[in-house]
Every structure is written in structure tokens, then in C-alpha cells.
């Protein structure tokens, strides 16, 4: 693969696209607001006004947009990828979306001779910038092997999970874990503060032990600095939790920690902080 299309240049997407360009690929980009693409255009990426215009001549096209309805629009809408991508193109959706939508895209694309992979990521803004994302992939193994060098330009922990939709199911598992971990991190810090301890000293003791986690090491310091700017938006976390809750219901599973976290974060969104980072939970405790 030589020419890569990239749709969606948000907090994660901009850095992911930049790493693809650095890896030597010919990069074609499109997003709703051209201003967000300025640095990439300056670095040699080609701007495309439409999805259809981007799709022409691409070997693979990556999408990482906001919500499942945005994925629907990009793939199934007029001039969308399923209409405009050429046969043998690999379409890779890296949005955190629903497993059922991933399977629907796979089926519709296969009828047109187009390959698809669902490949959501974890690692936040730091992982996206450093090219160390964890990438969870569902789809056909042949497509996965073809796209592997492209994934390696964006991530380090790249794991094939199974058939179409499996990547999204894995990401749901990831978000379920994070939901309860975030409550635990915040409660640990608040407990230390109430006990009269220096929470930074407490972090030094506990982050390398059994309580250690990415959230504890990376987000707890931001909480203590009063830095609630987004590495990952509350509004997107709520979207992810709804996907996980809906999928859990389909599976007949009741994730109680996830349900509690969803209620807490909904209160945060209702109070107007849905554009803050997930570490803003500390403010509400």
C-alpha cells in the first residue's frame, strides 16, 4: 500500500495521520473543518473536499470520526465510501463504534469487492502522538496482514481479535475496564487527601504496585494539576459507554461498574463539562 486516505482529524486523528505521513505514505485527508488540517497540508498531505474525492486512488482509507451516526454517514451516505471506494480498497474504521455496525459495513462492502476492518484504538492523545496506540482489529485475516505495516505506523500493541465486529467488542471491554478504573483512581486520590496525605507521594507508592494502571500514571497527575483538558472527551466516553451497555444488553450481561460510571459521567455532561477530559471526574468528587 502506498496511498492512504484519512477521514477525521480530531484529537486522536491528527496525530495518527501525522505518523502515517512520517512513515512515508502518500496521505490524502478530509475532515469537516479544513483549518484542522493545516499542519498536515504543510507537511505534504493532499486535501480533499469530499469523501468521494478522497476515495479515488487510495489503497486504504482510515476513518476515525465522532459517533456511530457519523460512521453511518461516511460509509452509507450519498457519495460515501461504500459508493465511491474502488474494489480491493481496504476500509479501516478506527472510530469506537458498535459491533453490529461494523458487521453491517463488512457485509455491504464485501458485496462490492471492498475489504473492511474495524480497528478501534486505546492510548489517548499521548499514545496517538507517540505512535504507541493499542489497536484492536476485527475482519478477515488477509486484510489484516495487508494492513499491518500501516497499523505499525500508528501503534505498538496490534492484536487481531477475530471476525468483523471483534475489534469493536474488544474496545467495549477496554472501556468497561476504564470506567471502573477511573472511579477507583479518583476515589484513591480523594481518600489520600482526606487522610491528610500528599497525593503525589501516594501515587509514587501505589502506581508501580498492584494498583498500577495507565489512568493512574497519566491522568491522576493531570487531576492534581487541575488540568481537565481533553486527551479523551467526556462526551465521547459517554458514547463508548452507551455502546458497551447496549452490546451488553444484547449479550444478556449486566456490567454494574459500567452502569455506575455512566451515571456519574452523565451528571458531568449535564453540568456542562462534556468537552473536558475524562479526568474531570475528580472535580465532581
Q: Which domains does the chain have, with CATH numbers?
A: 3-164 (3.40.50.720), 169-284 (1.10.1040.10)
**Are the C-beta atoms of residues 54 and 66 closer than 8 Å to each other?**
no
Query: Could you read off the pLDDT of 55-101 as tens digits, one per residue?
Result: 988 999 999 998 999 999 999 999 999 999 999 999 999 999 999 99
Dihedral sign for Cα 12, 15, 18, 24, please. Answer: negative
User: CB 118: neighbour CB atoms within 10 A?
Assistant: 33
Nearest to residue 131, comparing CAs of 28, 26, 215, 12?
12
Tell me whether residue 171 is one of the annotated catalytic residues.
Answer: yes
The pTM of the whole model exceeds 0.85: yes
Distance of CA 284 to the CA centre of its chain: 25
Look at residue 129 in the predicted model and tell me its pLDDT.
Answer: 95
Share of the chain residues as helix, strand and coil, in percent rounded to the nearest 5? 55, 15, 30
User: CB 283: neighbour CB atoms within 10 A?
Assistant: 14
Alpha-carbon span 172 to 273, nearest angstrom: 23
Q: Is 78 helix (H, G, I), strand (E, B) or coil?
A: coil
Q: Which residues contact 169 (CB under 8 A, 6 or more apart)?
A: 99, 138, 161, 247
Look at residue 124 in the predicted model and tell me its pLDDT.
Answer: 82
Alpha-carbon span 110 to 24, nearest angstrom: 29
Q: Is 31 helix (H, G, I), strand (E, B) or coil?
A: coil
Nearest to residue 3, comparing CAs of 84, 58, 63?
58
Q: How many CA atoms lie within 13 A of 67 on its CB side?
A: 8
Q: What is the pLDDT along the chain (285 residues), one digit of tens a residue?
A: 899 999 999 889 999 999 999 999 999 999 888 888 999 999 999 999 999 999 988 999 999 998 999 999 999 999 999 999 999 999 999 999 999 999 999 999 999 999 999 999 998 888 999 999 999 999 999 999 999 999 999 999 999 999 999 999 999 999 999 999 999 999 999 999 999 999 999 999 999 999 999 999 999 999 999 999 998 899 999 999 999 999 999 999 999 999 999 999 999 999 999 999 999 999 999
* Residue of 21, 129, 171, 276 marked catalytic: 171
Amino acid at each position: 500500500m502506498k496511498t492512504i486516505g484519512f477521514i477525521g482529524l480530531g484529537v486522536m486523528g491528527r496525530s495518527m495521520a501525522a505518523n502515517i505521513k512520517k512513515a512515508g505514505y502518500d496521505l490524502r485527508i478530509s475532515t469537516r473543518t479544513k483549518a484542522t488540517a493545516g499542519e498536515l497540508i504543510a507537511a505534504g498531505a493532499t486535501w480533499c473536499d469530499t469523501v468521494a474525492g478522497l476515495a479515488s486512488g487510495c489503497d486504504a482509507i482510515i476513518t476515525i470520526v465522532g459517533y456511530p451516526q457519523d460512521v453511518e454517514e461516511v460509509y452509507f451516505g450519498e457519495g460515501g465510501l461504500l459508493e465511491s471506494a474502488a474494489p480491493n480498497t481496504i476500509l479501516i474504521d478506527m472510530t469506537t463504534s458498535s459491533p453490529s455496525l461494523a458487521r453491517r459495513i463488512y457485509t455491504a462492502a464485501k458485496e462490492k469487492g471492498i475489504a473492511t476492518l474495524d480497528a478501534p484504538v486505546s492510548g489517548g492523545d499521548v499514545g496517538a502522538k507517540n505512535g504507541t496506540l493499542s489497536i484492536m482489529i476485527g475482519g478477515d485475516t488477509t486484510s489484516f496482514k495487508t494492513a499491518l505495516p500501516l497499523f505499525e505506523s500508528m501503534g505498538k500493541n496490534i492484536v487481531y481479535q477475530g471476525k468483523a465486529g471483534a475489534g469493536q467488542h474488544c474496545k467495549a471491554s477496554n472501556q468497561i475496564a476504564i470506567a471502573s478504573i477511573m472511579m477507583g483512581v479518583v476515589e484513591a486520590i480523594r481518600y489520600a487527601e482526606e487522610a491528610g496525605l500528599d497525593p503525589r507521594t501516594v501515587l509514587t507508592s501505589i502506581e508501580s504496585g498492584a494498583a498500577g494502571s495507565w489512568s493512574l500514571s497519566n491522568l491522576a497527575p493531570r487531576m492534581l494539576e487541575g488540568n481537565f483538558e481533553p486527551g479523551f472527551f467526556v462526551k465521547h466516553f459517554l458514547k463508548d459507554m452507551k455502546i458497551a451497555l447496549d452490546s451488553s444488553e444484547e449479550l444478556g450481561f449486566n456490567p454494574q461498574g459500567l452502569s455506575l460510571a455512566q451515571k456519574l459521567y452523565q451528571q458531568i455532561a449535564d453540568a456542562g463539562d462534556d468537552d473536558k477530559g475524562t479526568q474531570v471526574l475528580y472535580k465532581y468528587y
